Structure 1
């Protein structure tokens, strides 16, 4: 199972994911995506809200990498695989678009979506965890909050 509980949990906590594709010159192109979800244990769905560059890149070269990182914990995952664009006119659009439409609501209409068939999953971990193995997530969160000038809000 590519998308195990740890990956799914991290994905649900992420506000954005980053879709990397390859442009016509062979250069990487990275674009933020706000509406995304797991479809099954090896497929990721991403709403194409306003990404003609990513759509063109996927049409030319299906190589794709999607990453998401919690900016406070500074951990996440990198998913590599092959992407394809599914348009509204395609027969599989409706069943694939359904979970994304629920997430997007009427505010973010989309007429196509990216389907990423995942071939590999790798963790993303901030260097401090590796350089200082006794670093805890709570220490990392506290440090990130200081760096970003963020304070906790008490309920």
Structure 2
């Protein structure tokens, strides 16, 4: 039986609730387990840490890493830091938006209408000397071009 989001949050809280500064590790672990932070677990986490729902929601929405909705099956992150921008990340992001059917807005990502793809801007992947850099489903790729991005996404999009 698959655990519910509430079950996952409860297990994570049980492991971390007594640690100082536990909110971020809890949110990371919940998102790692579920792929996102479901809205219904925010009050549960807040209560477990003796915080307000607004405090937990504020952290979830402040950090670009956290998602409140399930991601697509293929998650593409394009570095938007200065070194990558200088090497073509803006054009790469525009290409990804067009080909994946995702429109990023206000520094936040989006998921395609069919739910297959999620596109997120990120700020520095640490590959400045090999820019532009992207992450496709947790695989870090350097010196990315639109054609190489298309190949990386296509390989994952093919039915297994």
Whose helix proportion is higher, 1 or 2?
2
Structure with higher RCO (Cα < 8 A, 6+ apart): 1
TM-score, L = length of structure 2: 0.29
Whose strand proportion is higher, 1 or 2?
1
